[in-house]
Structure 1
């Protein structure tokens, strides 16, 4: 199985980018974040023409997640369990090919003061609880998407973020580590244990040409699924495309069960 996660920063602006990428890479599942449109406004016909179907949880102008798949999925959740029903559109979960796939767009945490940061931590606690539930069910699963977390200092270019940024604060990193301590595997670090492997470059301050990036898009795998891991690659070429997203796809390949 080949799956990828990609914060597209507006599907209406990157519709052609996604179409081109699907034609070239032909993944079994593509997890999209920050689609920035309501569910009914998602441009499905263009992707249906390529043989894909979509599960979309949209929201006007902000947030929004979607999963494109070749085979028909089973929809499990349209929001992260444990969060209020009116929570912003940041999570969708499906079953596909014997695997539970959770697509997440975790809050940034830098707006709204300490209350905004606490909302990020609460979201991460709910994600931890969901992972624990899936582990207890002995379900093969992946939780992938834009985590808005740089887990370690090597996951950001020197000087890009201050020590008080919500992406690197000690509590943020602790919550991320708690997912790993449950028994999940950070797919990229399992294949590339050290060194820069950025997935995001800000549009400003020449971050892309200077390679001043962040690794904030992750795929965490359950124990048995991690045994099937073959390759993990940030598709850096997409950041060099015309009018790109500030994120690039993170592509994960798994061996057959």
Structure 2
């Protein structure tokens, strides 16, 4: 299984990029975040014409998640059952015996804001739910935009980010708590180039200067670790016209 995650930052805008990327890379599954589309406007017909099925949970202007797959998704779940929320941030499905969980973790805005407390509460709920989910589905992959850079090596300039969201200790502790459930960061299972990032601000020529963060992740359960043969970041989409500020992360699981 080739499985990928990508925050498209508007599927309406990035649909041509998405279709081209699917055609070239032929993943078995692609998890999207920030689709920013109501379900009635989701481009299901276009994806089906490209040979893919999809399940999705969206809203106008903000958030939105989707799982695009070559096989029909089974046992689909929308949202966190232990965290009632109008924001569309979670969708899960089973593909070929593997539980695929697509998440768009809240950004948090700033550490002194209510949105930061919401983010931490949301992450706690995710962790608590996954405890049981991993029992039900030992083969599980948690993909998405986590809005967390787990370590300083995932930040272009750690000192410049001190005191900001995405890098704060409580957020990083929440990431470690997910790992302590028995999930492994697939990117770090392999030797990787230094200064590998998945997001760059649109401003200050950040991509050209590689002023980025690694905040998009694919975590795999212990049962899948021996079968994970590669994980990489595809920077090519950031070079296109009107790109998302994120790029795909891709893992191969045999």
1:158-183 Cα distance to aligned partner (Å, 9 max, x none): 15852111101110001101111222
Range 185-194 or range 12-21, more displaced: 185-194
Q: How does the TM-score come out when normalised to structure 1?
A: 0.95
The yes-or-no answer on 1:243 pairing with 2:229 is no
1:112 deviation in Å?
9.0
The yes-or-no answer on 1:170 pairing with 2:177 is no
Q: Decide whether the 8 Å contact of 2:111 with 2:163 is kept in 1.
A: no
| Structure 2 counterparts to residues 60-209 of structure 1, below 5 A | 60-84=60-84, 86-110=85-109, 113-137=112-136, 139-158=138-157, 161-192=160-191, 195-209=194-208
Q: How does the TM-score come out when normalised to structure 2?
A: 0.96
1:57-111 Cα distance to aligned partner (Å, 9 max, x none): 0001110001111110114311022111x43001100011001000000000015
Q: Give the number of equivalent residue pairs.
A: 254
Unaligned runs of 5+ in 1: none
- Determine the C-alpha separation between the residues in 1 that align with 2:137 and 2:57: 27
Range 174-183 or range 206-215, more displaced: 174-183
Unaligned runs of 5+ in 2: none
Matched position secondary structure for 2:161: coil
- Determine the C-alpha separation between the residues in 2 that align with 1:111 and 1:152: 19
1:193 deviation in Å?
6.2
Matched position secondary structure for 2:199: coil
CA root-mean-square deviation: 1.5
Matched position secondary structure for 1:171: helix
Q: Structure 1 160/233 Cα, relative in aligned 2: closer, same or farther at 3 Å?
A: farther
- Report what 2:46 is aligned to: 46
Q: Decide whether the 8 Å contact of 1:8 with 1:35 is kept in 2.
A: yes
Q: Decide whether the 8 Å contact of 1:160 with 1:213 is kept in 2.
A: no
- Determine the C-alpha separation between the residues in 2 that align with 1:150 and 1:37: 27
Q: Decide whether the 8 Å contact of 2:80 with 2:126 is kept in 1.
A: yes
Q: Structure 1 138/7 Cα, relative in aligned 2: closer, same or farther at 3 Å?
A: closer
- Determine the C-alpha separation between the residues in 2 that align with 1:209 and 1:170: 28
- Determine the C-alpha separation between the residues in 1 that align with 2:39 and 2:112: 30
Matched position secondary structure for 1:103: strand
Q: Decide whether the 8 Å contact of 1:65 with 1:105 is kept in 2.
A: yes
- Determine the C-alpha separation between the residues in 2 that align with 1:48 and 1:160: 46
1:7-49 Cα distance to aligned partner (Å, 9 max, x none): 0000000010000000000111000000001011111111111
